[in-house]
Amino acid sequence: MRGGVSGFETVDESVDEIIVGRRTSFYSRPEYASAPVELEPTRRRIQRSERRRLIAFADEREEDETHLKPEQVHLSISGDEEVTVVWTTREPLEEDFEVRYACAKRNSEDEEEKDVIDRVVSSKTQTTWHIGKVFESSSYTQQMCLASATSLTAPSMGGPKTPVKRDVLAKLANTSSWADRDASNYNVVNSFKDVVPDAWFTMEKPWEKTVCLGYANANGGWYRSPFIHKAKIKDFNKERGFDACVYVLPHDEDENGETKYRSFKKRGSSNTNEGETILSVMGDTGQTEVTKKVFQHVKDVVKPHAVIHTGDVSYADGFAPRWDSFAELSEALFSSVPVVIASGNHDVVNNGAEYTAFEKRYETPWRRSASYSKNFWSFNVGKAHVVHIDSYSSVSTQMFDGAVADTFQTWLENDLARVNRKQTPWIIAVFHAPWYNSNSAHYKENEPQRLKYEQILYKFGVDVALNGHVHSYERSYPVYNNQRDECGITHIVVGDGGNYEGPYGSSWMTPQPSWSAFREGSFGAGSLIVHNDTHMSWKWERNACVHPDGTTDLNHTYWSMRDGESASSCRTDQDKSENPYVAVDMHVFVKNENKCETRKMGTGIGGEKLTFTEIDDEEGGVASSSNDQYRIQSLTVALALSLVCLGSTCYALWKTTQALKRARFAVSVRAVHRTTFDDEDEEENGVELNVSNSFHAAQDVDEGDEVLLFPGGQNRITSSSNVM
């Protein structure tokens, strides 16, 4: 059968017949003559070919640019006047990439972020762009594990990226899909039970256990992190009253393909009176719908200068990709508000399944607080000194420890002794596991640390301690050694950030201890507002209540929020606290040094103390022409001084210079004299020193003369020809 479209012929032969050669082509010569084939392509064809090549190159480049687009951006507090911007890319960046940033003064406290950015970017004369050099760019590998299979596969609260799907785990574990049958890592997995047996969920002992995909499972047992980049943003303008900074990351574009600018509030300096400092406090966040609500409230309502996270950040619990999903969830908040994170059990221990990700992704100020560990640190923010104690570091040297535990007690005492209460009158301690907690969950879990460190914090007049770990909210009265003490520390547990393990409101201990002021089993976040030298206020706000909504696969209660429910009037079911409907708890700290002598403790020099491992580039860089401006200014000053030096003034300066040189030489001579005769016990009459023409002795010395040094400092100058 012949068809009339383009001269092609439709045939009835099967494909097999065509393959074996009965017919080599469907092509049939057209009835009209075709133009002869050109031996050389025309210019038009070259242009078309080039255009197609350029389009393909552009598509490939666009795809590459997508892989270089910054993701998971956050700002880690790494010093008093420094933050580290951290971001990830799918592919490594080229060499010599950098972050550009500029700081400015906001027109008002309520000025929107977009308006600040527009004003900084559009300013041509008042904005100086600095360069933040990238000091680390890396990726890491981690074995895929479940440190808490109960919560990961059957969480008590849900939200983005939860739960971890069982069929996915089974597919990853099934090496028979790719390994050879005779390979040692060949493993047939038919269902999730072949990965995690039922006994895992029902056995009570040991309670803490981890299961991992096989270490030899090269096509599913390992996780490769994105490329993690870190650059320092330093506050060059702290003395100029700037209170907002704008920064630009390499390859960062908005949805319109335009350069994307980000910004954050500058933290107040202890050396200036810049008004109030707002610190948001949250903990045990995880990544659920409740977490999202807490983050949104902090960003839009609290609008803090910094976030203090009391630990247990992502609740990845060994399932490494959940560190990525948490960073995506928190980016809107943490890319615009610098955060510092306490080391929680889900971050640094967690049955051996965690620490690498937390250490690689989040910075702390340890290098700028003379610490030996990333999990012991301190920094100043406004009029407050914040110090962190690792809840998971032994308080006494144990059998297999490689370090003396008292090292960190000494560090804590030295750090608090350095505090200058005139600069930072308030001291805030942060540690994950609470010392004062009236919930049966984690009760007295950190008692050894309290017995070790509480007396130190009390001695130095610490005002407040911030904790997490317990998934509820509780504030104490000032307390010391389990007794109310007006000079004691106010302990605040903020472990109600929204993680998937659900609320702890049903496990309050009764009666409520005398030191416990307020407690509630809902979800929210708090804020510390440092007003001035004598007043600081605390405010906890409930952001969500949850209610039973069926059961999980393991027959546990599943909790969820109700649509349209107001956080200001709700109550979390089964909350046995005394005030379950109260949506806000507030407290005002008033410093009274006359009653509490410990509040005067800490009269040190203040400021930072660098760890010897910190390589600190104090010069930084400037992205604009500011370096040229500084050079011009320096040359101008030099020229002016040169003009002043004319005549008698120049002569006077020259004489002064000679006098200084003679003085320095005399000191050097005395040192040589002392070393020669004291250390070596020389009994000779003198020591000969050649004097070059760049130095002069206390008397006028001609070039080529020598100096004789005698005991008692009686020296004489002789001609080189007279020296015996």
Positions marked active-site = 442
DSSP letter, residue 231: E
Task: Extract the tokens encoding 220.
Answer: 């599913």
Q: What is the DSSP letter of 405?
A: T
Buried b (16+ CB within 10 A) or exposed e, 566-577: ebeebbbbbbeb
Q: Find out whether 208 and 346 touch, Cβ atoms under 8 Å.
A: no
**Beta carbons within 8 Å of 720's beta carbon, 6+ residues apart:** 704, 705, 706
| DSSP code of residue 605 | -
| C-alpha–C-alpha distance, residues 239 and 126, integer Å | 16
Candidates 503, 526, 155; CA nearest to 310 is 526
Nearest Cα residue to 85 out of 367, 380, 335: 335
Judged on CB neighbours under 10 Å (0-12, 13-18, 19+), 594 is exposed
Cβ atoms of 472 and 520 closer than 8 Å: yes
E strand or H helix that includes residue 718: strand 716-718
Task: Take residue 708 and report the two structure tokens written for it.
Answer: 């004789």
Q: What residues have CB less than 8 Å from 153, skipping those under 6 apart?
A: 146, 163, 164, 166, 169, 196, 553
Tell me the pairing of strands 426-430 and 464-467.
parallel
The string of DSSP letters for 633-647 reads: HHHHHHHHHHHHTTT
Nearest to 530 by CA among 236, 244, 273, 239: 273
What are residue 714's phi and psi, to 5 degrees?
-85, 95
Tokens 């309520």 — which residue? 110
With tokens 């609470």, the residue in question is 434
**Distance between CA atoms of 296 and 333, rounded to whole angstroms?**
7
Count of alpha carbons within 13 angstroms of residue 238, beta-carbon side: 16
Residues facing 130 on adjacent strands: 101, 622
- Distance in angstroms (rounded) separating the CA atoms of residues 442 and 456: 23
Look up residue 465 and give its two tokens: 């301690």
The rounded distance, in Å, linking the Cα atoms of 241 and 103 is: 10
The tokens describing 566, both together, are: 């107001």
The answer to whether 446 and 631 have CB atoms below 8 angstroms apart is no
> Which is nearest to 280 in space by CA: 262, 269, 295, 291?
295
User: Are 308 and 385 within 8 A, CB to CB?
Assistant: no
